[in-house]
């Protein structure tokens, strides 16, 4: 090593203040998101997907069982359908 260059500091596992702050803010944001009410567009994605595919492929009149299943899922989550 060159005599004018100092050796690197010893490796430390201590987390920097910036890293710790970003983890804390991520945790706060996560808990805030959990408190937001569920929007109807985001509820029951599994039943919504198969219902929509059926309606596109076969028409609404041939998908009443899937439509009803999606409505039941929405009602179970508290939506008034």
Was 54 annotated as part of a binding site? no
Alpha helices in 1-81, H assignment, sequence order: 17-35, 45-58, 64-76
Q: What is the pLDDT of residues 27-81, one digit of tens each?
A: 444 444 567 889 999 999 999 999 999 999 999 999 999 999 999 999 999 999 8
Beta carbons within 8 Å of 48's beta carbon, 6+ residues apart: 70
Classify each residue of 22-53 as buried b or exposed e, where b means 16 or more C-beta atoms within 10 Å of its C-beta. Answer: eeeeeeeeeeeeeeeeeeeeebbeebbeebee
Was 42 annotated as part of a binding site? yes
Q: What is the pLDDT of residues 10-31, one digit of tens each?
A: 655 555 444 444 444 444 444 4
pTM of the model: 0.57
The ranges assigned to domains in the chain are 45-77
């Amino acid at each position: 090593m060159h005599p004018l260059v100092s050796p690197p500091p010893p490796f430390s596992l201590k987390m920097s203040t910036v890293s710790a702050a970003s983890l804390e803010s991520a945790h706060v944001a996560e808990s805030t998101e959990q408190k937001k009410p569920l929007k109807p567009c985001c509820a029951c994605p599994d039943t919504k997907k198969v219902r929509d595919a059926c309606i596109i492929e076969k028409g609404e009149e041939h998908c009443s069982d899937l439509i009803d299943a999606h409505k039941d899922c929405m009602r179970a989550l508290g939506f008034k359908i």
